[in-house]
Structure 1
């Protein structure tokens, strides 16, 4: 075998290995996300008993348990996902055509926050007017209580969670389907799965509209950072509003009294 043939054989083996890794990475990311969702179940009892032993009442101990388990599981899941992605240089190379520049992608991410927020307002109005669904999210209210007890949970809610969800729902689900079907079917399926995972079926339309906009942003720029920015900003805005709701209500009351 001559030198050129050996070189070609080496490149061929590398290509096969890279191809296998490229197929496995999305699956591993999905498995990490599933593990993040299920892992807290294994540690609820010992963690709850620990906080009870610290003299906490039942409600505070339960909130502390949920808050810290979210921080640890999402944090570990985030690190594991980043390690896998760094090892697979082709993970995000799923698009044909030129990607948007970094500044353009960031700009669309910021604009995307307003698009998502606007879409959620329309979806909420439709839920109220057509289906009689009361506004307000029980999921958001529960998370806010956790953050009040465990401030570190804010990091999981505003950063770890959105990044993991975008990797799963936009890159793995939407990205994979978009390569084998078409944009509209891939967008609809990824948005529906995104909505279902949040387990608030009464507000399915709000989560579905959010998934649609985030998929559009990813398709538009071909950079995952764009939907991540929009998602992080959305969660951050909601948490700031919820944590300062009492102050906001008092401010509005003062304005009414002045008038």
Structure 2
């Protein structure tokens, strides 16, 4: 296969179709409701793991008809080293600035789940790896791709950022998350790739979990 044949490094790709959004929204509750009913451990970390795993499966089902073209359509395209580094540094700056306005609910959640070394490792996997992957793929992959294909990248940037913040539900938390959402969305718009925002999201959440574990006295 030549470089020109590799769909992962092509700038053009099929846009996300509206039916992919519908399928995702339909499949997610079908997976989540029975899974929650069967779940014995109702602690926060287990619930988060279940939610994000179900979301990832629903996303895979939604884009499965696109085949290998789903990856570039979601934004999994090369971005280069410096956009990833600068995007991550920028996210940390935004996160520190936002933290001066109040304690985000996400930090409180991290402190709640990272109570022991075992839970610390599990919370790193769920909150610093699984959660960023799912949130980026859904909001700045699936949603961004659909909106960009219909109304352009600026509309996609704003829409995905606002809905990303709104998905955090609690009003204060949503407002504190919005600047990060705007930054992640801007990275997606400027680079055309999901990797810079995903890397920044992973590092940001990872630092939050480590900091929360340190504050709560957990020894990693």
Q: TM-score range with shorter-chain normalisation?
A: 0.7 to 0.9
* Partner of residue 78, structure 2: 102
Structure with larger Rg: 1
Distance 1:216 1:37, change over 3 A: farther
The partner residue of 1:136 within 103, 124, 136 is 103
Partners of 2:77 and 2:156 in 1: CA distance: 24
* Partner of residue 228, structure 1: 198
Contact 2:110 2:208 in 1 (8 A): no
Contact 2:143 2:160 in 1 (8 A): yes
Distance 1:40 1:237, change over 3 A: farther
Q: Give the Å deviation of 1:213.
A: 0.9
Distance 1:124 1:34, change over 3 A: farther
Distance 1:21 1:244, change over 3 A: closer
TM-score between both structures, scaled by the size of structure 2: 0.72
Partners of 2:166 and 2:30 in 1: CA distance: 17
Q: Structure 2: which 5+ residue stretches go unaligned?
A: 1-13
Asked whether 1:69 is paired with 2:64, we answer no
Contact 1:29 1:168 in 2 (8 A): no
RMSD: 3.5
Contact 2:111 2:216 in 1 (8 A): no
Higher relative contact order (CA 8 A, sep 6+): 2
* Partner of residue 23, structure 2: 28
Partners of 2:79 and 2:141 in 1: CA distance: 20
Equivalenced residue count is 201
Contact 1:119 1:209 in 2 (8 A): yes
Counterparts of 1:111-190 in structure 2, within 5 Å, are 111-125=86-100, 128=101, 135-148=102-115, 150=119, 151-190=121-160
Q: Structure 1: which 5+ residue stretches go unaligned?
A: 1-18, 49-61, 129-134, 249-259
Partners of 1:153 and 1:191 in 2: CA distance: 24
TM-score between both structures, scaled by the size of structure 1: 0.63
Counterparts of 1:233-244 in structure 2, within 5 Å, are 233-244=203-214
Q: Secondary structure at the match of 2:115?
A: helix
Contact 1:159 1:232 in 2 (8 A): yes
Distance 1:69 1:80, change over 3 A: same
